[in-house]
């Protein structure tokens, strides 16, 4: 790298060739190669060393903390309050590889693997992430995702969910979290017929794909994650590592937006 390309990064010495080089965070396959903290910008410096995808960084929740810091800055940049007041919940079933790890079979999606559970704000930025087996229903996964976030999201008051959370899931959100929950679905969902007066034509049920209000925001977030090669499947042995890569992929996206 030529001089002056990264003015915030101080020069260090390559231990192999003993030549002065400049340290740089590299996002490659959604992994980060980082130099010591003294060589990194202040925005990346959490503690004495740069955060990595190692076990210590995952267990301490450093990627989650960095995600929250960048999310607040990005929301402020677009004129929003740093802390959101509404969010959208959804899940995505993904296949796992031959690597040993927790997995289950999602009969609805016909997927054997894990499930990524996300809570995002109205901008599509991740507020919370949870990875569990695909055989767990959305109603069972919602308490595991939301319970640790109650104190971290003091302004949140309303969430949009899909029909997979209807019933027990919505009741838990409203009673335990103190939020209001709205099930977003098409008006014709579950309709098998219509009663109309004589001489009146019954409404026509549309065919094909139709975008749902609010729901498309979290679906777009899943598509952002899928653009990272490491997120195309669940390659990890531990669900904590899978969750860390979700925050890492969003960190990369937010840094690029803040740098514009």
Per-residue pLDDT reduced to its tens digit, 63-93 = 889 999 999 999 999 999 999 999 999 999 9
Residue 230, classed as helix, strand or coil, is helix
- 243-259: average pLDDT: 92
Question: Distance between CA 22 and CA 189 in Å, rounded?
Answer: 57
Length of the chain: 260
Per-residue pLDDT reduced to its tens digit, 17-66 = 433 333 334 454 444 434 344 444 444 444 444 444 445 556 567 888 99
Please tell me the predicted confidence (pLDDT) of residue 100. Answer: 63
**CATH says 82-188+211-244 is which class?**
alpha beta
Nearest to 162 by CA among 141, 142, 182: 182
Residue the block writes with tokens 């026509």: 204
- 153-167: average pLDDT: 94
> Which two tokens mark 182?
């709205």
Each residue of 167-188: b (16+ CB within 10 Å) or e? eebbebbeeebebebeebeeee
Share of the chain above pLDDT 70, in %: 77
Report whether 88 contacts 145 (CB < 8 A): no
> Which two tokens mark 238?
């531990």
Please tell me the predicted confidence (pLDDT) of residue 103. Answer: 87
Please tell me the predicted confidence (pLDDT) of residue 58. Answer: 61
Nearest to 141 by CA among 113, 167, 169, 162: 169
Please tell me the predicted confidence (pLDDT) of residue 172. Answer: 96
| Domain residue spans of the chain | 1-50, 82-188+211-244
Output the pTM of the full model: 0.77
Question: Distance between CA 93 and CA 133 in Å, rounded?
Answer: 9
């Amino acid at each position: 790298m030529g001089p002056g390309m990264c003015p915030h990064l101080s020069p260090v010495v390559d231990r192999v060739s003993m030549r002065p080089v400049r340290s740089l965070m590299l996002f490659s396959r959604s992994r980060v190669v980082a130099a010591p903290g003294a060589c990194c910008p202040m925005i990346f410096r959490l503690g004495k060393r740069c955060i990595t995808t190692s076990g210590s960084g995952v267990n301490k929740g450093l990627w989650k903390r960095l995600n929250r810091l960048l999310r607040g800055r990005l929301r402020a940049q677009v004129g929003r309050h740093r802390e959101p007041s509404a969010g959208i919940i959804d899940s995505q079933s993904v296949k796992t590889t031959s690597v040993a790890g927790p997995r289950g079979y999602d009969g609805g999606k016909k997927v054997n693997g894990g499930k990524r559970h996300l809570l995002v704000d109205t901008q599509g930025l991740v507020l919370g992430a949870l990875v569990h087996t695909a055989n767990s229903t959305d109603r069972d996964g919602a308490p595991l995702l939301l319970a640790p976030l109650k104190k971290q999201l003091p302004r949140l008051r309303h969430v949009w969910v899909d029909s997979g959370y209807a019933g027990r899931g919505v009741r838990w959100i409203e009673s335990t979290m103190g939020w209001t929950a709205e099930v977003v679905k098409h008006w014709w969902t579950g309709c098998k017929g219509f009663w109309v007066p004589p001489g009146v034509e019954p409404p026509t049920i549309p065919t094909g794909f139709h975008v749902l209000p609010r729901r498309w925001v979290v679906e777009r977030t899943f598509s952002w994650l899928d653009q990272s090669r490491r997120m195309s499947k669940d390659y990890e042995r531990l669900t904590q590592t899978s969750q860390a890569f979700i925050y890492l992929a969003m960190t990369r996206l937010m840094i690029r937006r803040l740098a514009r």
